[in-house]
Structure 1
Amino acid sequence: MSNHHKFHYLEFPATDLAAMKDFYGAAFGWKFKDWGDAYVEIQESGVHGGFALATEERGPSNQGALVIIYSDDLVQSEKTVVECGGEISMAPIDFPGGRRFHFLDPSGNELGVWTEVPIQE
Structure 2
Amino acid sequence: MAEDLNRIDYIELNVANIEISKSFYGKAFGWSFTDYGPDYCEFSDGRLKGGFTTTAQVSAKGGPLIILFAAELEACQQKVETAGGTISNPIFSFPGGRRFHFNDPDGYEWAVWSDR
Say whether the fold is shared (TM-score over 0.5). Answer: yes
TM-score with structure 1 length normalisation?
0.88
CA distance in 2, matches of 1:67, 1:45: 16
1:1-121 matches, within 5 Å, as: 2-53=3-54, 55-56=56-57, 59-117=58-116
Q: Tell me which amino acid in the other structure corresponds to 2:102.
A: F
CA distance in 1, matches of 2:55, 2:104: 14
For residues 10-64 of structure 1, give each alpha carbon's deviation from its aligned partner in whole angstroms, at most 9, with x where no partner exists: 11111110000001001100000011111110123421211111524xx231321
- Unmatched 5+ residue regions in structure 2? none
Aligned length: 115
- Unmatched 5+ residue regions in structure 1? none
TM-score with structure 2 length normalisation?
0.92
Instruction: Output the aligned Cα RMSD.
Output: 1.4
Percent of matched pairs sharing the same residue: 37
Moved over 2 A (4+): none
